[in-house]
Amino acid sequence: MPKIRTHKATAKRLRYTGSGKLVRAKIGRSHLRRKRAKRTKRLYDEMLTVTEPFVYKQVKRLAPYLDKKD
């Protein structure tokens, strides 16, 4: 039986916490941050919890091995 391939973009964007919640990073933190205030840049560091229930189903299909703990 072959393994299911992981969608790498999904695996890089999302991760599970220890309690099993799905978290993602905020948008707008990749580039053009020089002109932002220090407070604004600091707010980019926190992760947001994914609240939509259908996203969990999509992630389970795209990245089946993501929730496994190492």
Please give the pLDDT value at position 33.
Answer: 85
* Model confidence at 70: pLDDT above 80: no
Q: How far is the C-alpha of 37 from the C-alpha of 14, rounded, in Å?
A: 26
* Model confidence at 37: pLDDT above 90: yes
* Model confidence at 68: pLDDT above 70: no
Mean pLDDT of 1-20: 92
> Is residue 16 classed as helix, strand or coil in its secondary structure?
strand
Mean pLDDT of 15-41: 90
Q: How far is the C-alpha of 23 from the C-alpha of 8, rounded, in Å?
A: 16
pTM above the 0.85 mark? no
